[in-house]
A and B are shown apart, each in its own frame.
Chain A
């Protein structure tokens, strides 16, 4: 294997939603794209998340909101996107949480404050303990695994190549550019490179001489048996994120994450450890008391990437200048329709055509203390002896 085709050829490292969406956008532009994924597409965080698509803080927010309602049609495969979201609280201390939201939500997006009665009308599984809620008429949820596969298939339909079970181990450079990526199966040549490898992005970027501070953590979700469909499926609150799936299952996560010391390049994803399973179950039962009888049938865990300020890095590097790096810092699913388009623009045009990404540059971390993780207390749990409390 050396050249993968004539004309511009782009290699995307990482078959999560960020890399897959980028590949799809590039392929739609007629570029020869190869996605290299160490496992199966969407098998890491991209297929294991809450499916939330409401990221008002992001410069990609407007594009996220514009694209989601069109994604099924654009991709030709279902994503299960559902518009709208209700967030409500059952803890009296959080009764006025909408005031904090009002400070942050951009104008031009409709939302209402709901009283407990209104919440119960819209959320049949809610109970007498509701204190207040909000209803966003934007944002929403999609099915993570189905969406990941939809990007992959749609990219293939536009001619992209997807190499699964292939890990990238290094890069070949010449004349200040990356000319190929190294895999166990040989070197794959490229004119341009996209690194969107989730938690492994930092390691890969380091091979090109850049310091991208990142830490990886694990988070868990639980899912119940199917229940009768609620009129609005994007319902969460009480310290939880999640949704009712279109099958009727309640899928929720939230609460303590576990920082990892280091994640190997080719490590398999962790399973849930039970360390927050029961606490999540409790909060779901509190949020939706009429579903307290519902049986939990599974849980799962995913590994998540984060930068020190919790903000993405989406940037075409100055050197090597044919490399674009994208890591979404723990909220990359919902933004993926837009992040892929931004990456496409950066790769082909050198700049994003629809959003300002200046503040997301890697250079903001220059001068960051080496022990930044200690400073932020982004540390793994300390050793604990299992002991009876009785």
Chain B
């Protein structure tokens, strides 16, 4: 029995290495859409220091990666010079201009890639947010945070949907109206609900052609009068069909083949240069999940949404939500104002002007209330797309993972792995060992692991998992979001102004000197010698 040798006191832990915020604001608002602007304006009117951050206009690099929206390679050259788009973004948002005039510290082309309150390693009074622009990243401290990050598109892939010309309705709207940088001419729109109709109307208004709306069910889902108006303007409503394949050339899509949902051989072709996926939007909850705000599955509010109380309060006392990211629908401006009021009240800075803002939006969904149709409509789409398109279609574009590989829980193809034991494994056998989990499928198949950070595949992979394991889609747990929630170059994310303490107290692992002494040497003179020499690196 050798005597115990203890290592020297630890100087390599986070203790004594606090994260430094470069700036501090009372209220940080993320997202300068209707909700975020309304919140910022209301708070500024009450005399609070407000920073309003929005990533738009985003860089061409991100547009090309389909971040933060599914731009589908249909942007014009205008996105190469985001500086010039700034003016356009301001023009299209009078509220943003108003916020500017009120002295709100508006930061455009700036993203928030992470936010934390009382996280491990960050024992904070308020909170901390990680910001980045094209060249650098930094931390901003805040007393209160309002997340008004909006919604992104629900995407389903089909054969050929990885070429330019297949995009989401939100991506389309941003290019068309916010950036004036949409490159397509003739659209096929997937979906026939309000989102699809709104998309078609905007396109027509701007002089674009809309060839068709494609709907899986037998009848269009949106209001009959609105559908009739589209039909009168020459838009065909193709019901009972789903996209099967997009064909094109070097410039992307030229035509879309749709198939009858029950018979893949029953097809027709639609000439178009753009396919807009306009089935549904999904609340952007990534920062809220990084923050650790409580969530619930509420299909009627768009899927995974934060648990929200009066005034947009979340389970975290410093964090409030407004607009679509709090759950789809409702009055975005009103929810922004109310979130500002609630945030201010929680700081002890209630404003009377604000207190009068009436609540005209529907009450947040009661978590106990059973969802009417759940994700049934989305699941129907997933099912029909799988039945018609088959298992060889990519479910995850970045990582080149097919639907069949998700269903079969296959390791990535580049491993070139085959074994009989592996062939016997699939989602059904995995589900026998316990409830399926998207993070597990992610790690095993790599679906949702790519640079687009799963914006184009997250929901459809979850639906595919539900189909494969034969469980209700609402029960598939959310694959967790992790910072940075925007793909940032190493050189941008890097802290080039790191403190001397950080550098001096840095070790590759724990820096426990005794840990690395060779077993043979423990308790011998060689142990002492090595401890004196210090860690090799």
Contacts and interface: CB of A to CB of B under 8 A. Distances in A.
Contact of A247 (B412, B517, B522, B534): B412
A80 B443 CA distance: 13
Secondary structure at the B interface, as helix, strand, loop or mixed, is loop
B19 A247 contact: no
A362 to B, nearest CB: 11
Contacts of B534: 100
Interface stretch (A26-34, A170-178, A186-194, A378-386): A378-386
Nearest to A144: B443
Nearest to B137: A278
Given A225-B451, A278-B495, A387-B24, A78 B19 contact: no
Contacts of A387: 21, 24, 141
Contacts of B123: 380-384
Interface in A270-289: 270-279, 281-282, 284-285
Interface residues of B, number: 104
Contacts of A89: 537
A273 B518 contact: no
Contacts of A103: 529-530, 533, 536
A97 B120 contact: no
A165 B432 CA distance: 12
A300 B120 CA distance: 12
B487 interface: yes
A213 B95 CA distance: 59
Most-contacted residue by chain B among A40, A222, A273, A380 (CB, 10 A): A273
Interface stretch (A1-9, A17-25, A201-209, A305-313): A305-313
Given A57-B516, A258-B13, A274-B114, A299 B433 contact: no
Interface in B100-135: 114, 116, 119-128, 130
A57 B17 CA distance: 30
B512 interface: yes
B506 A285 contact: no
Interface string B1-37: 1111111011111111111111110000000000000
Contacts, number: 319
Interface in B382-419: 399, 411-412, 414-415, 417, 419
Contacts of A218: 120-121
Contacts of A297: 450-451, 453, 484, 487
B490 A292 contact: yes
B134 to A, nearest CB: 12
A271 B433 CA distance: 25
Nearest to A256: B14
Contacts of A279: 495, 498, 502, 506
Contacts of B125: 385-386
Nearest to A384: B18
Nearest to A250: B490
Contacts of B12: 256-257
A383 B199 CA distance: 50
B6 A375 contact: yes
A376 interface: yes
Contacts of A275: 14, 17, 19, 119, 121-122
A255 B494 CA distance: 14
B317 interface: no
Contact of B122 (A76, A94, A260, A274): A274
Contacts of A97: 536-537
A330 B411 contact: no
Contact of B515 (A257, A298, A311): A311
Interface stretch (B201-209, B244-252, B325-333, B434-442): B434-442
A84 to B, nearest CB: 18
A257 B121 CA distance: 8
B294 interface: no
B505 interface: yes
B535 interface: yes
Contact of B506 (A254, A274, A367): A254
Contacts of A255: 502, 506-507
Given A77-B419, A241-B508, A257 B13 contact: yes
Interface bracket on A: 35 or more
Contact of B4 (A164, A308, A376): A308
A382 to B, nearest CB: 7
A152 to B, nearest CB: 8
Contact of B495 (A247, A281, A311, A384): A281
B150 to A, nearest CB: 21
A304 B414 CA distance: 31
Contacts of B10: 259, 376-378
Nearest to B24: A388
B77 interface: no
B119 to A, nearest CB: 4
Contact of B417 (A78, A153, A247, A272): A78
Nearest to A361: B1
A146 B444 contact: yes
A146 B419 CA distance: 15
Contacts of A239: 506-508
B480 interface: yes
A308 B493 contact: no
B365 interface: no
A129 to B, nearest CB: 14
B518 A106 contact: yes
A359 B522 contact: yes
A293 interface: yes
Interface string B61-73: 0000100000000
Interface string B454-484: 0000000000000000000000000010111
A273 B498 contact: no
A299 B490 CA distance: 12
A258 to B, nearest CB: 4
Nearest to A73: B419
Interface of B: 1-7, 9-24, 65, 114, 116, 119-128, 130, 137, 139, 141-142, 290, 292, 399, 411-412, 414-415, 417, 419-422, 425, 433-435, 437, 439-440, 443-444, 446, 449-451, 453, 480, 482-484, 487-491, 493-496, 498, 502, 505-510, 512, 514-519, 522-523, 529-530, 533-537
Given A247-B412, A273-B119, 14 more contacts: A47-B443, A56-B518, A77-B422, A100-B534, A103-B533, A239-B507, A241-B509, A259-B14, A306-B510, A310-B515, A376-B6, A376-B9, A378-B13, A383-B123
Q: List the 10 closest pairs (A to B, CB-CB), nearest first.
A: A310-B515, A100-B536, A310-B512, A282-B494, A386-B141, A273-B119, A278-B495, A295-B487, A164-B434, A388-B24
21 contacts: A57-B515, A76-B422, A104-B536, A106-B518, A218-B120, A224-B490, A247-B412, A271-B119, A274-B128, A275-B122, A281-B490, A296-B489, A298-B484, A299-B484, A311-B522, A356-B519, A376-B10, A381-B17, A382-B123, A386-B141, A387-B21
